[in-house]
Amino acid sequence: MKKYENGKLIKVVCNQCGKEIKTETEMIKEGICSVETDWGYFSDKDGESHKFDLCEECYDLLTRNFLVPVEISRRTELL
């Protein structure tokens, strides 16, 4: 969960474990998985937008149980 105050990012918390993610002058300074999804007509959540953030440990815990592994590719340009 990202918390903003006057349009500025002030806090990022992992939705799963509650850990506070390191930020420095609005920059996220550690690994984070940010999910944003817009549910559509064929779901039970039509019209709802959901978002959450996971710390790297919680991301690893979640994806470790996937029957089909996460698809990994390498980006050529890193920010």
**Would you say how long the chain is, in residues?**
79
Residues 1, 10, 17, 61: which binds Zn ion (CB under 5 A)?
17
The two tokens of residue 21 are: 């993610």
Is 21 one of the binding residues for Zn ion (CB under 5 A)?
Answer: no
Is 14 one of the binding residues for Zn ion (CB under 5 A)?
Answer: yes
Residue 58 DSSP label? H
Question: Taking contact as CB under 5 A, which single stretch among the options 29-37, 41-49, 50-58, 64-72 is the one that binds Zn ion?
Answer: 50-58
CB nearer Zn ion, residue 40 or residue 61: 61
